[in-house]
Structures are given as structure tokens and as C-alpha cells.
Structure 1
Amino acid sequence: MPKVSGVYKAEVRERIIQAAMESFAQTGYDKTKMDDIARRMGLSKGTIYLYFKGKEELFFSICDMGMKTGDKEDEGLFTKKENAASDAEELFDNIRRRERGNDRVLLEMAVESTRNPRLRKAMHEHHLRVHDHVLEGLKKKIEEGFIRKDVDAAGLAIAFVALYDGLAVNRLIGISDSTNKKAWVAMLKAVIAGSS
């Protein structure tokens, strides 16, 4: 039997993630079955289980992939204070593009986690990773002198994640992306002005 290369495994893993994103977006997290994802790919369900333990791990892999992609996309942002508004807009657009509609699924999972302790634990761990990711970005901006050293970076990271989560709820109840984007930009500009 020929040996499967690491590149091939990475490609299959990426295809599984893509199929899962499409399935979750189409039918929601709860209604999507691993069989649905396998059918979408033309693979067996067993193949998916070679890469992921279950739907929860698959969903969080989607989220983690978005964070890794973001580091490269957002690298040149927030270097000059006079560009704060346009950088905040670009960051908002980048995050929206990376999440690919997963905000709805994430909120579904948050509701489901109130009844499912295992999912609640996984959601908690995921949110800690998101907070840590945002915190690292803020620390970098403090080191670069973009943000004052006396700013509570940990508190600010929690606030940014909470703001974005709140805007995701807004989007689900019908508040337009343009209105949400204005709120995001206004808040980031105010925080930058107050922490510079």
C-alpha cells in the first residue's frame, strides 16, 4: 500500500473543513450530520473520522483556521493612528470574510452549550483561544508603541471579542452589516484615541 504524504493529508483535511463549513452554513450545526459532510465530499464517514473526532472538533478547527489566516491578512493594520478608521473597516471586512457565515453556527452552538456540558467546555476553550489570540495582537501593538503600556490589554481583548459577538447577534436579528461596521469602527477609533 502506498504511503500517504503529509501534503495529501493536509489537502483532504482542508477539503473536509470546506465541506463542513458549507454544510453548517446550509443546514446549521445541529442538523448537519457527519454523513452529510461525507456525501458532500464523496468520501466515507470513516475517512472524516480519521481526521476529526466529531462535529465539535471539526467546527473548532474551522474557527482556528480563521484565526491563523487572519494573522497574515491583518499584519499591516494599525501602524499609523491617522489610519485607524480605514484599518478598523478593513479588519471588520477581513473577519467577516474569514468566518464565512460561521457566526450563525457559533451562536447556535452557544445556545446548545447551555444544555450540553461537553459542548460548553469546548466553547469555553475556544473562546479562551480567541481571547488569547486577540490579546497577543494587542500586546504586539503595545510593544510597537501604538497603544500605551498602561492599558489593560487582557480586559480590552475581552471587550473586543464581546463587541464582535454582540454584532454577530445584531446581524442575525436583521441589523445590517453597514450599521454593524459603523459601530465597530466607532468603538475601535474611540479605544485607539483613548489608549494612544
Structure 2
Amino acid sequence: MAKIENEHSFCQGLSFPSTIARLGEQSFSRSHMPRVSQEHEQEVRDRIVRAALQVFAERGFHRATMQDIVRASGLSVGAIYTYFKSKSELILAGCDLITDQELAQLGARLASVTGYRDRIAAAVGYWFDNLAVEQTDGGSGFLILQAWAEADTDPAIREMLVRRRRETVTSIVMILQEGVMRGELPAWLDVPSVAHAISALLDGMLIEAAEDGAAYRRADHERRILALIETLLAARVAAPPEPIAAAPARPYESARARRAAS
């Protein structure tokens, strides 16, 4: 797999608020530690997490070992295990680290943008900028696609993905609620449901980018996201729509099941 230089590809996409507060258990109270020692510990912890992200990108979650991470970090085995007891803890810490950084970067971008439509464009553009970094610096390896493939068998990876989705949806909810309060979006908008749908659509763009390979064109994919949001903006003066009732679930016979029975 191609080497992924930018650690943001670990939780690629609009991934947002979380805190990096889970430190390894110690036999003494950290509340009495000097500030310089706390800062040093955080630096060491972040160094380990970044090394783990690099190893996960190069070798995949399951093939990566703690010894690989020890070598990549340049620290001792004891130093690694002081902060993290397992690879699973590193997976979760890595996602937390990246989402915190992404929140700060997106906030900095939006701070200088006042118009609501411009803020929408800036937020969507940020997501595609992030994807572009992974493509140019990381080659063809989309680590998040590996995570989806392995979520069914690895609880830690599943938890990481759940956090990622929760944070993404939360950030989109905030942006949509801002639009409702400004009168840019209809007051009747089902904000939570629409936020989940946009989150899924963004992940769909990631899948399409992986499928398209060299044929991927950012402008085309970005336009699809913005086209959906433009439809929502145009609906601000429309009456609430009649709800569409979901169709009842019906049995479905897959081709695989048919082959297995024959």
C-alpha cells in the first residue's frame, strides 16, 4: 500500500469535536504535576499516536503491530505501553487527535466568512481540500475504506467509525441550524435527518473518488454536494412537504442465496 504522509487521512472527511483526555494510568496524581511535565507527556503521547497513524496507513490495521509502532515512534516499548495498552486504544486516540485538529482548522476558515452561503461553500470546500491532501500526499491508500471493511470484525474500529460519524453529523447539524435561524433554510427542515443524509453523501464522494481513481474530478463531486444544498436553500419559502411514508419491508432473495441453494 502506498505510504500516507498526511495523518489526516486516518479520519478523512468532515470529522469534528472530540477531546484527547484519556491518559495512561499512573500511580500518582497528575493534578500536582508541573505544567512542563504535563506538556511533555502530551507531546510524547501525540508522537506515539502519529507514529501509529503512519503505521496503520502503511500496513493496515490488522497487519500493523505494536512493535511496528515502537519502531516508527523511536521510543521504547515501555514508553509506548505507559500511554497505550493496546492497538485498539491507539486507533481511538488517533481518531480523537485528528478530529480535534480538523475542528480547529475548519473553525479558523469559517471565522473569516460571514455570508451563510459562503460559509456553506467554505465548509464543503474544506472537506474536499482534506481529500485532495490524502490523494496527493498519500497515493491510492484510503485508510478509512479499510476501516469500513474491517468494522464488522473489530470493535475498536467500529467505535472509531461511530465517533467519526457522530462528530460529522453534529457539525453539519450546527451549520444547518444556523441556516434555519438566519432564515436561509426552511423552519420545517428535519435538521437531524438531513444532517445524517449529507454525512452519508460526503462519505459517498470518498467512495466515488476511490472508484474513479485517475478519472476523479473534484469539481464534479463538489458540485453534487452543493446542488443538494442549493435545493434546500430554494425551499426556504416553500410550504412543508407531505411526509413520504416508508415502504414496508419485504423479503428479498439475493443472487448469492440462490446460487448457494442450487
With the shorter chain as reference, the TM-score category is 0.7 to 0.9
Of 105, 115, 138 in structure 2, the residue corresponding to residue 80 of structure 1 is 115
Which residue matches 2:47? 15
Asked if 1:171 corresponds to 2:209, the answer is yes
Asked if 1:36 corresponds to 2:72, the answer is no
| % identical equivalent positions | 26
Contact persistence 1:19–1:41 (CA under 8 A):
yes
How many residue pairs are counted as aligned between the two chains? Answer: 194
Asked if 1:131 corresponds to 2:169, the answer is yes
Which residue matches 2:24? none
- State the Cα distance separating 1:22 from its structure 2 match: 1.4
State the AA in 2 paired with 1:188: L
Secondary structure of the residue that 2:162 maps to in structure 1? helix
Which residue matches 1:24? 56
- State the Cα distance separating 1:6 from its structure 2 match: 1.1
Asked if 1:120 corresponds to 2:158, the answer is yes
Asked if 1:89 corresponds to 2:125, the answer is yes
Which residue matches 2:23? none
State the AA in 2 paired with 1:80: G
Contact persistence 2:128–2:222 (CA under 8 A):
yes
* Separation in 2, partners of 1:82, 1:124: 29
* Deviations 1:95-147 (CA, angstroms, capped at 9, x unpaired): 6548985x822221222222345643553344333323432343344445444
What TM-score results when the alignment is normalised by the length of structure 2?
A: 0.60
State the AA in 1 paired with 2:125: E
Call closer, same or farther: CA 1:19–1:124 in 2, change over 3 Å: same
Contact persistence 1:167–1:180 (CA under 8 A):
no
Contact persistence 2:91–2:160 (CA under 8 A):
no
Which residue matches 2:27? none
Which residue matches 1:151? 189
> Which structure would you say has the larger Rg?
2
Unaligned runs of 5+ residues in structure 1 are none
Contact persistence 2:116–2:179 (CA under 8 A):
no
Unaligned runs of 5+ residues in structure 2 are 1-32, 237-262
Q: Once superposed, what is the RMSD of the aligned Cα atoms?
A: 3.3
Call closer, same or farther: CA 1:13–1:131 in 2, change over 3 Å: same
* Separation in 1, partners of 2:215, 2:178: 28
Structure 1 segments, 4+ long, off by >6 Å, are none
Asked if 1:105 corresponds to 2:105, the answer is no
State the AA in 1 paired with 2:188: D
Contact persistence 1:56–1:119 (CA under 8 A):
yes
- 117-126 vs 15-24, greater mean Cα deviation: 117-126
Secondary structure of the residue that 1:7 maps to in structure 2? helix
- 125-134 vs 156-165, greater mean Cα deviation: 125-134
Contact persistence 2:51–2:72 (CA under 8 A):
yes
Which residue matches 2:91? 59
Call closer, same or farther: CA 1:56–1:127 in 2, change over 3 Å: farther
Asked if 1:48 corresponds to 2:86, the answer is no
Secondary structure of the residue that 1:30 maps to in structure 2? coil
Contact persistence 1:112–1:119 (CA under 8 A):
yes
Contact persistence 2:152–2:158 (CA under 8 A):
yes
- 155-164 vs 68-77, greater mean Cα deviation: 68-77
Asked if 1:185 corresponds to 2:223, the answer is yes
What TM-score results when the alignment is normalised by the length of structure 1?
A: 0.76
State the AA in 2 paired with 1:26: E
